[in-house]
Copies of this chain bind each other. A is one copy, B any other.
Amino acid sequence: MAKIDEVAKAAGVSISTVSYALSGKRPVSADTRRRIEEAVERLGYSPNAGARMLAGRRTRIFALTEPLRKDTHAPTHMAFVLATAVAARRNDYDVLLLTDEDAQAGMRRVASNRLVDAILVLDVAPEDPRVALAREIDTPTVFIGVPNDNDGLVCVDLDFEAATREAVGRMARAGHARIGLVGQPEVSYSRSNFPPRVREEFFAAASMFAVTADFRATGHEHATDAGVRAATGELLDAGATALLLHCPEESHRAVLAELADRRLRVPDDISVISVAPTFDTSALPRPLDALPLVPQASCDLAVDLALTFFDGDRPAPGIRLIPPAYLDHGSLARVPDAPSAAVAASAVA
């Protein structure tokens, strides 16, 4: 618990020189710097956080608000929290958890407190009360997710529309004329911001590529295995030759189970692409092509944006969409033109 003056004394320099040597905000002769670093090392000096917050301009802490609703998908959520923490630490920042029953109270507190330099908003809802609050407080706020009303806000997110469009486009180009979307449970379409975006773009892209599109939700409140299998079955019965999956890992497994029960092989009998999964689809019983939602990408960008608030100019408000990358695991094939193929085969024979 050595203090800066002890370091200064040990190094035979003034307090300010120690400070500058450590922050690098002023040139320090090589020799002086070496002596200071040596003293710091020997005394195990570590600048007092409170003092830095008070004297300096920044606290080196980000707040992370996460409303933790009962229907939050824990693994996905945790991935985002972890990604945020990692991104923050990479920039020498710590993360303060704001899990207040009333998220707004927490945001207000740390804002008037000056406890944090910026607030990162997770698990954004279409109509999110934190939007109004963000406009009200003067602490920089970055949304990881896109609320309906996002005027003047700084938001980052995966480009769900582009991801969906690319998946549909690939299916269409592979000759699939009827594709199905295995979606989320119904309530997600009003509570979260991205499920509706995927669904809307699914239909838009389908019409753009002139293919027939069917959608099925996977339950009401929660995606049960039964709900997922039923949805899958209905889409198949309707004649889909390709499935777009937009649901949690467990549901992916349920879809694959249903396909297996029906003796449908991927991709020979049915093509499958996962949109915006947060887990590794190559680790599934049957690896699936995917346009993954990479939490680290969103969170890295969010932290970068939060930091630019301090480099003088605040970043231009607006939505930053992260372009999706396509991961090929061989679960998409040309349409199994079974009849004609059989005919052709027998013709050759």
Q: Mark A residues whose CB is within 8 Å of B.
A: 1, 44, 46-54, 59, 61, 64, 68, 72, 74-75, 77-78, 81-82, 85-86, 89, 94-97, 99-101, 109-110, 112-115, 138, 250
Chain B residues in 8 Å Cβ range of A95: 96-97, 99
Distance in Å: Cβ of A306 to nearest Cβ of chain B: 16
Known: A49-B115, A96-B96, A96-B97. 18 other contacts (CB 8 A): A1-B112, A1-B138, A46-B109, A48-B114, A50-B52, A50-B53, A50-B115, A53-B54, A61-B96, A74-B74, A74-B77, A77-B78, A78-B78, A81-B97, A81-B99, A86-B99, A94-B110, A95-B97
The 10 A-B residue pairs with the shortest CB-CB distance in the complex, in nearest-first order = A50-B53, A46-B112, A74-B74, A50-B54, A49-B115, A85-B99, A74-B75, A49-B113, A95-B97, A74-B78
Minimum CB–CB distance for A284 against chain B, Å:
13
Knowing A1-B112, A94-B96, A97-B96, the reply to whether A49 touches B59 (Cβ < 8 A) is yes
CB distance from A49 to the nearest CB of B (A): 4
CA distance A333 to B90 in the complex (A): 56
CB-CB < 8 A to A115: which residues of B?
Answer: 49-50, 94
Shortest Cβ distance from A78 into B: residue: B74
